[in-house]
Structure formats: C-alpha cells, structure tokens
A and B are shown apart, each in its own frame.
Chain A
Amino acid sequence: MGKTLFDKVWDSHVVSTIENGPQILYIDKHLIHEVTSPQAFNELEDRGIPVFRPNQIVATADHNTPTLHQDQTIKDALSRKQLEQLSENCKKNNITLYELGHKYNGIVHVMAPELGVTQPGLTMVCGDSHTSTHGAFGAIAFGIGTSQVAQVFASQCLLLTKPKSLRVTVNGKLKNGVLPKDVILYIISKLGTNSGTGYFCEYAGNVFEEMSMEGRMTVCNMSIEMGARGGMIAPDETTFEYVKGREFAPKGEEFDKKVAYWKTLPTDSDAKFDKEYSFDAEDIAPMITYGTNPGMGIKISETIPVDENPSFKKSLAYMNFEAGESLINKPINFVFIGSCTNSRIEDFRVAANYIKGKKKAANVTAWLVPGSKQVETQIIEEGLKSIFDDAGFELRQPGCSACLAMNDDKIPQGEYCVSTSNRNFEGRQGQGSRTILASPLVAAATAVEGKIIDISKQLN
C-alpha cells in the first residue's frame, strides 16, 4: 500500500519506537517566542541540561510586543521582562533571535516561512498551536506545550504516538470573493471543532493546488481549530518557487537536489487515509462566525442556526445574538486585519484593492497589523500604506496584537470586532470583547461600511 505525504515525512524522522509505546521523533526546526519558552529554559537550567542543537532553533518576539513605538522601551514591566528574558536565554544558549525592531522580526509563523526556515519534508515545532501553518509547505509542523519545548531543547526530539490521517478534498471553482480564509472557515463549520482531534490533516484537490503559498498557510494555520494537530499540503512548483532564493533556503545544486527529494513526498495514489471528507468549491461562500468557537460559522448571507444545546445558547448570549437572525447590517465599531492567519502581503493587497478610493466609516477603528517587518516594508514599498492612510485605516507595527490581546491592542468590553484572526473565544481579543471571524475582504468591507454587508452581492 502506498504512503501518504504525512507518512513519508513522519517515517523518515523516527529515531526509534518504544515497545507498546510512543516513538522518538526527530525535530528539524524548533521555533520559539517569549511566552512559552522561559519556563522551558528554567527547567533545563535547574536540571543542568544544555541545549542540544542551538543552531536548529530560531527565536522571535511576537506575542507580547507593542504595535506602536517599537523603538522605545516597553512600558509594561512584565512584557518587558519577558522579552529581556528571551534575549538573555538566547544569548546564553547561542540561539539566533530576531528581536523587536530587527528587519526579520515578526510573528513566528510569518517570519519563518519568509526566511526560508520552513521547507518541505521537515519536522517543525513551536510552543504555539498555530505552528500547523508551516504544513502549507508539506512539512510536519505542530504546536507543543512548554514541557515539550524543554524536551526539544534537551534532545531535539519528542516522544509521540503517530496520529491518524485525515484528508479533506475540495475540488471545483471558487466563487468571486471567496478567499482561502472562507475555505477553511467553511470546512471547520461543516466538520466542527473536534473532528480532527487525534489526526493530521492533508488538504487536497485543485482548490489548494491553485492557491498561493500565502493562501495555503491561511488554510493550514486553522487546522488546529478543528482539533487537528497539523495540516499539510503537498509541495509542488508553487512551493519550490516560494522557497527558492530565501535567506535560509538551500542554494544552487543543493536546492536542485532538495527539489528532487521534495517531489517524492506527495501522497501515493494508492495510499489510504483513516478518514476522508470532500466538498465542492462551488458550495463555499464568504463566511462569518456568530459564536464563540471557530466551528460556529455561516455563509455571510445565512441566518444563525437554532440549537437548544445549553453551550450553544450560552455562546449566543455572550455574543448578544439571537438564533435565527441574520448578521447583515449589524453595526461594527472595530476591525482587525492581522494575526498569523491573515497578515501576509497578499492579505493586505486584497484589503487595499477593496479599500482604494473609499473611506472607512466614521464609527470604525480599523487596525492593520502586518505579520512581519518584511510585510510592513512591502506594504510601504507597494504603495498600499498610502491607500490605507487615505482611507483612515491605521497601519501598526508587526506582532500578534489583537488576535490574543496580550499587549495593549484590546477590543473594549461588549464591542464586536470583525477580525481576520483565528479564534473567536470569549474574551480572546480583550475582556468581554466579541469576535467575528472573517476574511480580509469581509473585514475591509465591514470597515468601509461600518456594518456587516453581504460582500457577495456587492461583488456580483
């Protein structure tokens, strides 16, 4: 029987198997940031264990960083201390750190692919659940807890039981205005937030084959929102083209050799998956969420479903929505375009293309937070910044920002925010805030109109 993409990458990284137990899996790249690494460094230090392979670790500061005045000292003492500790830990252990203000700084899942750290066929981990993003390149990439961060520091390996395999196939032609974000929100709305738990997911079909790397990253990023530890897309010419020439990508002959290997990775035609789903691209429309988990999504023109489940009702009560109502024309005061899901250059091009010549509504605060310094520079160089400035949108500096509101970028109590991020959990964007997940196009349109509109009607 043939092997899946996941099997091929996993099997080539197994150091050994414990009888009736987990396997020792070798990890090629370990990404770290300020929030989930300090306790792991402390643990190693307490136990007198050195960092085993510092040159396979890349560090950045992103979760807890301000998005204004990054050149100044951070005001919040705890945030400042966390960043200082990251710098100190990296220095002590010879780990490369792209700290705040560095030209390569950014959200870990945006900057690592940009630098060519992310490559097909690798195993990658980070103490962040959205590490699944890197699966867009045909890598096995997944989020880990801090104890596991310490394990990788100590041994460059993890003890894991091989997950089951799941394939989601989407074929057909996407409608006008349907973006990669809509595709993944649609899939999660159909499958629910725990359908992928215990599985690694491969996305297949012409819809993903035709997507840019940015789009594939958006899709794989949200795999964890249906419970899957990771998501993968087979590497192809689009992938090779993206990786080629980047800072840490293999060069010259070495690159050609790698490409030849990467071409062997896609799933064999006779491989079997433990679970399979398939959807028609034509059925997907611009999506929006109405509840407090990412599975609670509808097409923007649909009404909120009716459900008697107490947790469902609790969720609607939190959002102050009624079962059966439409979200069209709901006034919105906050719009956030950013996060590791949608803060790449393509996302800002989509937004700028819509916004050009328009103005944001007077009631709206619209934050645009690029995923990295490189994206920020691109926004300026491509002239997008002037479009945003003219329209009254606020372009801030890179970081995780209002996706999880660890810094000062918080949505006030009771306010709705149409957000391109990945989680609409209670209070995710600030205590009492109400998050509505959507694509950068829907977010941009909401900011211009000051309310939710049916973007598909406007486009067609």
Chain B
Amino acid sequence: MEKFTTLQSRAIPLHIENVDTDQIIPARFLKATDREGFGNNVFRDWRYHKDGTINTDFVLNDSKYSGSILVAGDNFGCGSSREHAAWAITDFGFKVVVSSFFADIFKGNALNNGLLPVQVSPAFLSDLMQKIVSNPETELVVDLEKQTISVKDSELSENFEIDAYKKTCMINGYDDIDYLINNKEQIEAFEAQKIY
C-alpha cells in the first residue's frame, strides 16, 4: 500500500448524493481476476452514453475540473461491498474522497487501498462545492497527520476523524495482513479455548 501524508490538489465536484458502488463500477466490469485497469470504467454509465459516446454533461468529462481529490455528495459508496469501487477510483487517479458521510464497507475498502476518505460536515461540504464550482482552480490541502482539510489561501478549514490505527497504517503504508499474521500464536491460542 502507498504511504499517505499530505496532498495538495485541485478537486472534482460530484454533486450527487447516495452514490452507490454500482455507479462507481457497474457489475458487468467485475469479471476481471486482477486489480488493475478498473479506472477505465469508473462511473462508466455516467461518463459515457450507451452508444459509447462521451457524456459531456458529466463532471468527470468537464475539462474545467481536474485533480486527485473527489468531492462527493452525502452517503458516498453505499451498496455492494465490491472493493473494485475503491480500485477503480484509485486507478483513475484519485487519492482522496471527501463527503459528508461514507458507507461503512466502502470506507474500509478505501482505507485498505491507500485512498483516504475524508468526512466533513454538511456545511463544509457545501462550502467546498461552491468554492470549486466558482473557481475550478481552487486547491485543497489534506494533511493526514494533523487531520485537517483546508482550501488553500483561504480561511476555510476543518478537522476530520480517522481511526488512530488506520491513520498509522496509511502514513506508513502498512496493511492489516502484516499485523494479523504477526499475531498467529495468539489466534491459535484463542482457537484452543473457544467457549462457543
């Protein structure tokens, strides 16, 4: 897993609530047996019309916007547990997703893939969206160590929560497997004395 400490980048505003993982990566693209290449099909049915032509109304196709931060509406990542959603978003080039609320499984999958989910207040999200839309060159700064997200050259800033263990993993690029297999003896001891 790649390490994450700070990121300064422009952002893409996805002003839609309840974005489900079927929109992030439709099921018909889940037939692959490796993790690579899902970025080509991220938000496939919003980026392209059924005939394969580009949907110029969709924000990811709007050349005004760029950057490795996705700013999305409330309840991002609901639905299916497919980790392909996190793979698709990172493969497309995003390193941070900002929303006022994340679905559980998506949040865990993101953290396990070095993609930082930054949960902000609804008011801050709305301010961010406005800033970016009014000036697409707006730069955001995400500092994982300090747990802050701010708009560069402005007063706009907010703290965000992250599990202390997961924060350490993100900063150091560790994953849970390393931790778990180092605790095998303890797991075996547990198995030997299970009460149920």
Contacts and interface: CB of A to CB of B under 8 A. Distances in A.
Interface in B5-23: 15-18, 20, 22-23
Chain B contact patch, size range = 35 or more
Contacts of A85: 33
B33 A293 contact: no
Given A145-B108, A147-B113, A159 B101 contact: no
Contact of A147 (B22, B104, B112, B181): B112
Given A85-B33, A431-B26, A155 B109 contact: no
Interface string A31-44: 00001101100110
Contact of B104 (A22, A156, A227, A427): A227
B196 A155 contact: no
B105 A229 contact: yes
Interface string A1-35: 00000000000100110101110101000000001
Interface stretch (B63-71, B75-83, B133-141, B151-159): B75-83
A413 B108 contact: no
Given A21-B165, A81-B33, A155-B187, A129 B105 contact: yes
A393 B50 CA distance: 30
Given A49-B181, A311-B16, A311-B18, A15 B190 contact: yes
A64 interface: yes
A311 B31 contact: no
Interface stretch (A193-201, A236-244, A348-356, A366-374): A193-201
Given A47-B177, A49-B181, A145-B81, A15 B33 contact: no
Contacts of B26: 427, 431
A82 interface: yes
Interface in A191-223: 193-194, 197-198
Interface in B77-119: 78-84, 86, 101-105, 108-109, 112-113
A329 to B, nearest CB: 28
A150 interface: yes
Given A227-B78, A413-B50, A406 B176 contact: no
A242 to B, nearest CB: 19
B34 A38 contact: yes
B130 to A, nearest CB: 14
Interface in B157-177: 163-165, 175-177
Contact of B18 (A20, A24, A261, A293): A293
Interface residues of A, number: 70
B165 A154 contact: no
Q: Summarize A's interface: helix, strand, loop or mixed.
A: loop
Interface in A386-435: 404-406, 413, 423, 425-428, 431-432
Interface in B117-151: none
A78 interface: yes
Given A147-B109, A311-B17, A159 B187 contact: no
B27 A406 contact: yes
Given A144-B105, A159-B179, A427-B26, A16 B186 contact: yes
Contact of B103 (A154, A194, A413): A194
Contact of A423 (B79, B108, B109): B79
A127 B187 contact: no
B15 A310 contact: yes
Contacts of B82: 35-36, 145
B33 A38 contact: yes
Given A22-B165, A47-B177, A404-B27, A15 B103 contact: no
Contacts of A52: 184
A155 B178 CA distance: 10
Interface in A277-296: 293
A35 B35 contact: no
B22 A427 contact: yes
Given A151-B177, A197-B103, 4 more contacts: A36-B82, A81-B31, A155-B187, A193-B18
18 contacts: A15-B183, A22-B165, A26-B191, A39-B34, A39-B35, A52-B184, A78-B32, A122-B196, A127-B83, A129-B80, A145-B81, A194-B101, A197-B104, A311-B18, A404-B22, A405-B28, A406-B30, A431-B26
**Which are the 9 A-B pairs with shortest beta-carbon distances?**
A21-B165, A145-B83, A145-B109, A155-B180, A147-B112, A38-B33, A78-B31, A143-B81, A311-B17
